[in-house]
């Protein structure tokens, strides 16, 4: 356990002393009509003949975006509306944009819920408030523990989940913040509906479980716009301490380390983006559905496109992804991405990452708001035994 914290401290030293730039690269090419940036709002204004000056739109204090999208917390076909609000609480030169995502949804497989993801930066990045709240009703599938579970292990579990995660961070410098938080996860009314196995799914999936604990996050973030980062770096490490004295069923601890780096390629009007995370249980007995699993990582963004949610689950996970983002039209309205990722769940109760699960895909981006750089994203991801379409407001990471 001590060695893992030393690795995390070395990691933050490297990040903090790196050469990441502070400002976003904005691709405005030429100041004439044929190269003027265009977004979905421009087309809506033209379609409905709305009379509103561009200056008023550009200098709005709060910008809203909405679109039917999917959610990382459910599987199957979904009916979802995702609402995004982007606003600035300080000077643009020294304050990051704040965002709030609201995602109510219902699926054709009996799933429904509501999710809320606020990330708020106060003036001069003096304070950062990051939350993750949701109430879910599902059946969802699980395949047992380990990095190479068989498709025949699929087990359908019905139930409900309530999550309340809130971190409050104090800015140490303009880009570095440390803080304290509280995390609560409750799974209740759990019931195994359909299963082909009985050895790998713990009996406690049939009762209510509660995890309640204190989190200690450290965040380095010099991206100016988390909706569509075009330069800079994000890096975080969060230690979570769950204990019976805080209302948790069992005492256990975990560590989540997340790194994202963005390289602008101005002459090609594109961005090369990388992400990696390490998520591990440090000690204790963890409820089955609170163990690390694919597409269930804490925090903003989502991962493992091309793999089914919860497909692999264990006490530790590693993830790597690269994505190339580029403009297709010169006015910036249509863009595209290609991506590749690899996920590994450890051999259960170990740190041995033997089996890697790769996935690839491509997608289209439509610029919804050129001032906040919010895109509507349509992605198609593939892996060996699975393919899925992903719809989202904003970038995946």
**Angstrom distance (rounded) from CA 218 to CA 269:** 32
Q: Pick the more confident residue, 138 or 24.
A: 138
Is 90 exceeded by the pLDDT of residue 47? Answer: no
Per-residue pLDDT band at 64 (split at 50, 70, 90): low
Per-residue pLDDT band at 397 (split at 50, 70, 90): very high
pLDDT at site 182: 97
Q: What is the mean pLDDT of residues 139-162?
A: 89
pLDDT at site 359: 97
**Range in 23-27, 46-50, 280-284, 380-384 with the lowest mean pLDDT:** 23-27
Q: Pick the more confident residue, 319 or 369.
A: 319
Q: What is the mean pLDDT of residues 80-87?
A: 78
pLDDT at site 91: 86
Is 80 exceeded by the pLDDT of residue 80? Answer: no
Q: What is the mean pLDDT of residues 114-142?
A: 90
Is 70 exceeded by the pLDDT of residue 16? Answer: no
Per-residue pLDDT band at 373 (split at 50, 70, 90): confident
- Among 74, 66, 134, residue whose Cα is nearest residue 107: 74
Q: Pick the more confident residue, 60 or 358.
A: 358
pLDDT at site 102: 86
Is 50 exceeded by the pLDDT of residue 10? Answer: no
- For 235, the 3-state DSSP assignment is strand
**Range in 35-39, 296-300, 321-325 with the lowest mean pLDDT:** 35-39
Q: Pick the more confident residue, 259 or 155.
A: 259
pLDDT at site 75: 54
Q: What is the mean pLDDT of residues 368-376?
A: 83
Q: CA triplet 133, 137, 138: central angle to 5 degrees?
A: 120
pLDDT at site 140: 84
Is 60 exceeded by the pLDDT of residue 20? Answer: no
At 2, list the tokens: 């001590």
SS3 labels along 151-175: HHHCEEEEEEEEEEEEEEEEECCCC
Q: CA triplet 120, 390, 195: central angle to 5 degrees?
A: 105
pLDDT at site 70: 59
- Among 48, 101, 112, residue whose Cα is nearest residue 76: 112
Strand-pairing partners, residue 290, are none
**Range in 254-258, 357-361, 372-376 with the lowest mean pLDDT:** 372-376
What CATH number does domain 2-393 carry, 2.60.40.10, 3.40.50.11540, 2.40.160.50, 2.40.50.100?
2.40.160.50
Question: What string of DSSP letters covers 265-334?
Answer: EGGGTEEEEEEEEEEEEEEE---GGGS-BTT--SSSS---TTS-TTSSB-SEEEEEEEEEEEESSTTSSE
CB atoms within 10 A of CB 164: 15
What's the mean pLDDT when you consider all of the chain? 82
Question: What string of DSSP letters covers 328-370?
Answer: SSTTSSEEEEEEEEEEEEPSTTS------EEEEEEEEEEEEET
pLDDT at site 201: 58
**β-strand pairing of 386-393 with 374-383:** antiparallel
Q: CA triplet 47, 103, 305: central angle to 5 degrees?
A: 95
Q: Which residue has the tokens 């989540």?
A: 256
């Amino acid at each position: 356990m001590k060695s893992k914290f030393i690795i995390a401290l070395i990691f933050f030293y490297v990040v903090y002393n790196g050469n990441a730039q502070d400002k976003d690269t904005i691709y405005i090419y030429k100041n004439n009509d044929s190269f003027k940036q265009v977004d979905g709002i421009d087309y809506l204004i033209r379609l409905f003949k709305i009379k509103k000056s561009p200056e008023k739109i550009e200098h709005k204090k709060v910008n809203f975006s909405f679109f039917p999208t999917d959610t990382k917390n459910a599987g199957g076909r979904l009916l979802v509306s995702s609402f995004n609000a982007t606003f600035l609480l300080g000077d643009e030169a020294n304050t990051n944009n704040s965002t709030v995502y609201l995602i109510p949804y219902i699926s054709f497989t009996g799933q429904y819920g509501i999710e809320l993801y606020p990330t708020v930066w106060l003036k001069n990045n003096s304070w950062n408030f990051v939350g993750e709240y949701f109430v879910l009703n599902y059946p969802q599938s699980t395949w047992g523990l380990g990095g190479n579970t068989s498709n025949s292990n699929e087990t359908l579990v019905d139930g409900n989940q309530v999550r309340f995660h809130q971190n409050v961070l104090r800015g140490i410098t303009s880009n570095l913040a440390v803080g304290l938080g509280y995390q609560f996860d409750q799974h209740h009314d759990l019931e195994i509906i359909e299963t082909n196995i009985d050895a790998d799914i713990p009996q406690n999936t049939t009762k209510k479980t509660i995890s309640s604990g204190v989190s200690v996050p450290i965040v380095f973030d010099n991206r100016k716009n988390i909706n569509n980062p075009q330069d800079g770096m994000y890096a975080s490490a969060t230690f979570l301490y769950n204990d019976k004295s805080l209302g948790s069923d069992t005492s256990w601890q975990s560590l989540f380390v997340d790194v994202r780096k963005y390289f602008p390629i101005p002459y090609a009007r594109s961005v090369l983006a990388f992400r990696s995370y390490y998520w591990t249980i440090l000690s204790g007995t963890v409820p089955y559905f609170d163990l690390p699993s694919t597409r269930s990582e804490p925090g903003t963004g989502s991962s493992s496109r091309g793999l089914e949610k919860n497909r692999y689950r264990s006490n530790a996970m590693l993830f790597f992804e690269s994505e190339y983002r580029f403009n297709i039209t010169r006015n910036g309205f249509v863009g595209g991405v290609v991506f590749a990722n690899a996920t590994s769940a450890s051999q259960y109760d170990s740190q041995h990452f033997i089996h890697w699960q790769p996935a690839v895909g491509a997608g289209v981006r439509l610029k919804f708001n050129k001032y906040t750089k919010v895109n509507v994203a349509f992605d198609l991801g593939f892996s060996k035994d699975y393919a899925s379409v992903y719809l989202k407001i904003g970038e995946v990471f």
